[in-house]
Amino acid sequence: MKIDPWGSVRIEDYSKLFDEFGIARFEGMLRKLPDAHRLMRRKVIFGHRGYEMIVDAIVRGEPFAVMSGFMPSGKVHLGGKMVMEEIIYHQQMGGDAFVAIADMEAHSVRGISWRDCERLGVEEYILSLIALGFKPEGHIYFQSKSRTIQDLLFELGCGVNFTELSAIYGLKSDTKISHLTSVLAQSADILQPQLEEFGGPKPTVIPVGADQDPHIRLARDVANRMRMFFVEAREGYISIRGKDIDKKMLEKLEQMFDCKSKLYEAHLDLYGDYTLDEVDRIVREFEIKLGGYGFIPPASTYHRFMSGLTGGKMSSSIPESFIALTEPPESAARKVMRAKTGGRVTLKEQQELGGIPEDCSVYDLLLFHLVEDDHEVEEIYRECVNGKRSCGTCKKLAAELITGFLKDHQDRREDARLRLKEYEVVGVI
Ligand code: TRP
Ligand code: SF4
């Protein structure tokens, strides 16, 4: 059996995503990133769309943004921590960071009252985000309270129709209009970092779980749809196509380039030494002068989900299945001690056959969250599959580590509460 401590066996469960939906494998990015995150190295982050441009921006020290959002619908658990860490990682790599508290979605889809959205947003999500290291230069906002989001979602809604949303989300005739509005709000969240008020078009990465891919596909489509010009490399020349643009505009655009060119009714061909990137940048600037957006389709990363402590998925309706960032450390330790492992029924079998870390929620805990050192995780994996490790050892280790982590995190949350003033949160006075 091939030893793969990062559980790539399970990643194959996601292979449909690669083939059917065109998500690329993240592995190729690892070599190029100067300082890959723990979740990347361990293949928890397994897929991406368009992440190449984020790597380039990181390596060259060029502007980029990171954004993700949270529905304030209950307690933050370790899955939420994962997204927070991914945002913070990109912020540390130089990205301008945006965090949406998706109260419109929580209210319209989950029926959470506005008052609870506000309370949970600050109390659960924002405090933990800050406690985990989010810096005050980043932007945090409640969707419903951001004028910019409201305006942008309305504008994006001019370019999206019911049939298209149906195809992506499988809408029914009784789907609530506000649900659709919240879907557009998410596209607005994703594209907001590229607005002029935040410095204009830039590569943006959206770290999410694989379940959020429909939202990413929509936002990427909409980003393209809002463009006034499309730039394409052809054999020996670069072609710029205009959409609903009169020829006068193309004439003006032609003057921006110092090379041989040919103007047609709805497109302009450039024969010169300009690289595609250069042309792209000039065209975007021109588009913005005309009042357009010049959006770059956002990139995304996808992480797989940790298995629930009771086996199967983590579910907010089964408290034993997950660990919340605000729960008493003793309670978390108790859950770990009772968790489902990939161990065999008897010790003898365990020694003969070895355990199955791929089916072990305790292993997932250690791999995703609790053990910093890669070698240590590898060692645990090896001992497990070779029958040299007992599940009791892992549980004790995980219980100890989760206790320490939660104590520390909860102290940091109290500290964050005192420092909340240093953060400008749109929607919190
Ligand atoms: N829909 C996301 C969820 O269910 C929350 C969300 C809102 C979001 N806006 C976003 C995620 C923007 C990524 C980017 O958790
Ligand atoms: Fe899981 Fe550890 Fe048991 Fe292996 S020994 S199945 S990793 S708890």
Ligand 2 center–CA 375 separation, angstroms: 16
Ligand 1 center–CA 287 separation, angstroms: 29
Ligand 1 site residues, Cβ closer than 6 angstroms: 67-71, 100, 102, 105, 186, 189-190, 206, 208, 212
Kindly list the domain boundaries of the chain, sorted by start residue. 15-224+297-303, 229-289, 319-423
CATH of domain 319-423: 1.10.240.10
> Nearest to residue 66, comparing CAs of 17, 146, 109, 129?
129
Print burial letters for 47-78: b (CB count within 10 Å at least 16), e (below 16): bbbbbebbbebbeeeebbbbbbbbbbbbbbbb
How far apart CA 116 and CA 40 sit, in angstroms, is 34
Is 276 buried (19+), middle (13-18) or exposed (0-12) by CB count in 10 A? exposed
Ligand 2 center–CA 398 separation, angstroms: 11
Report pLDDT for 15: 74
Continuous H helices in 62-211: 78-92, 103-110, 114-120, 127-131, 147-157, 162-169, 177-191
Fold of the 15-224+297-303 domain = Rossmann fold (3.40.50)
Report pLDDT for 1: 39
How far apart CA 246 and CA 44 sit, in angstroms, is 48
Ligand 1 center–CA 27 separation, angstroms: 24
Ligand 2 site residues, Cβ closer than 6 angstroms: 341-343, 355, 357, 360, 362-363, 384, 389, 391, 394
The pTM assigned to this predicted structure is: 0.94
How far apart CA 389 and CA 377 sit, in angstroms, is 13
Report pLDDT for 314: 83
Report pLDDT for 20: 81
| Per-residue model confidence as pLDDT tens for the chain (429 residues) | 345 566 555 656 677 778 788 899 999 999 999 999 999 999 999 999 999 999 999 999 999 999 999 999 999 999 999 999 999 999 999 999 999 999 999 999 999 999 999 999 999 999 999 999 999 999 999 999 999 999 999 999 999 999 999 888 888 888 899 999 999 999 999 999 999 999 999 999 999 998 899 999 999 999 999 999 999 999 999 999 998 888 899 999 999 999 999 999 889 999 989 999 999 999 999 999 999 999 999 999 999 988 899 988 888 888 999 999 999 999 999 999 999 999 999 999 999 999 999 999 999 999 999 999 999 999 999 999 999 999 999 999 999 999 999 999 999 999 999 999 999 999 998
